[in-house]
Amino acid sequence: MEVRTFSHAGRPGVGQHPRREGSRPLLPQHARHCPVLESGSALGFMVYAPLEPNEAVHIGYEGEGKYTCTFFLAGQAGAWDKVFTVAFQHAVGGLGAIRESVEFRMPTISDENAVNMAKAFLMPENLGTPPGAIALRGATNFQTPVGWDTVYTPIFNMIERPVAPMLIVRVETDWFAHVTEFRYVLQPGEGMSLGHTLPIGQVMFVPREEVTLVAGSAAERAAFQASGAAFFREKAEHTTSTSYGLQYSPHYLRESRRRRDGEAAPDEK
């Protein structure tokens, strides 16, 4: 199955390309020996903001319908220089036009350019639905084959607190030209920092077909239980230890690779 990718229209070619990644930096090291955890983490592709390595952005929610986007450039000695801050103010009650204002800018940046740059990282029309919601734009858009959808999710297994909740979205991207966005919900005073190497969300592709649940027969249930018992028996036989004394079994990973490669089981040869 092939999925077409398209760069951000306003910043073409800027930002990292989507990629799979099964590890999470702050998970305990022993999670590296859990193949089902890593496989779950790598489901789909991580998506990045349209940022160069020397750029960073902070998106904040100040409450009462006010959202800010601050753009930084890396200066000398590793310091970050603030280039501009654009504020988006919702009307009272959330109805009406959104007011845009540039609160800080370098002399070489016009207000119009600052607002347009801010819109490259977030979508003002989707701010505040619900209150505190922000819509972060990705560097890459996707077009799926006929019958496939794109699901936009937070980064799987990023469990460090605090974690801003996210609204998961499913779009029929085989016919609808959807611009990639990730909808997080912030509390007043909270914000999110975006960088070149920091993924802002994850996408996965799913077929658009009905799923029917069918109860298994007694014979199928017995076969299911026997298969589970045989797996744990073989898993115990392949248990090994790391240099630090952590015990784990590579049996699931080996069996998964064997089945993907179409090899016969040892007792089938």
Average pLDDT, the chain: 90
Cα 96 to Cα 128: distance, rounded to the nearest angstrom: 12
Cα 136 to Cα 157: distance, rounded to the nearest angstrom: 20
Question: Is 102 within the bounds of a domain?
Answer: yes
Q: What residues make up the domain containing 107?
A: 4-207
Structure token pair of residue 21: 């990644």
Tell me the backbone φ, ψ of residue 180, rounded to 5 degrees. -60, 125
Domain total in the chain: 2
99 and 163 part of one domain = yes
148 and 233 part of one domain = no
Q: Give the distance, in angstroms, between the CA of residue 130 and the centroid of all CA atoms in the same chain.
A: 20
Question: Is 212 within the bounds of a domain?
Answer: no
Q: What single string gives the DSSP state of each residue in 189-214?
A: T-EEEEETT-EEEEEEEEE-------
pLDDT at 67: 94
127 and 201 part of one domain = yes
pLDDT at 93: 63
Question: Is 213 within the bounds of a domain?
Answer: no
Q: Nearest to residue 102, comparing CAs of 90, 91, 112?
A: 112
175 and 227 part of one domain = no
Structure token pair of residue 74: 């890396």
90 and 169 part of one domain = yes
- pTM (2 decimals)? 0.86
Q: What is the DSSP letter of 78?
A: G
Question: Is 161 within the bounds of a domain?
Answer: yes
pLDDT at 269: 45
For the stretch 109-157, pLDDT in tens is 889 999 999 999 999 989 988 899 999 999 999 999 999 999 999 999 9
Cα 148 to Cα 173: distance, rounded to the nearest angstrom: 7
Lowest mean pLDDT among 29-33, 89-93, 212-216, 246-250: 29-33
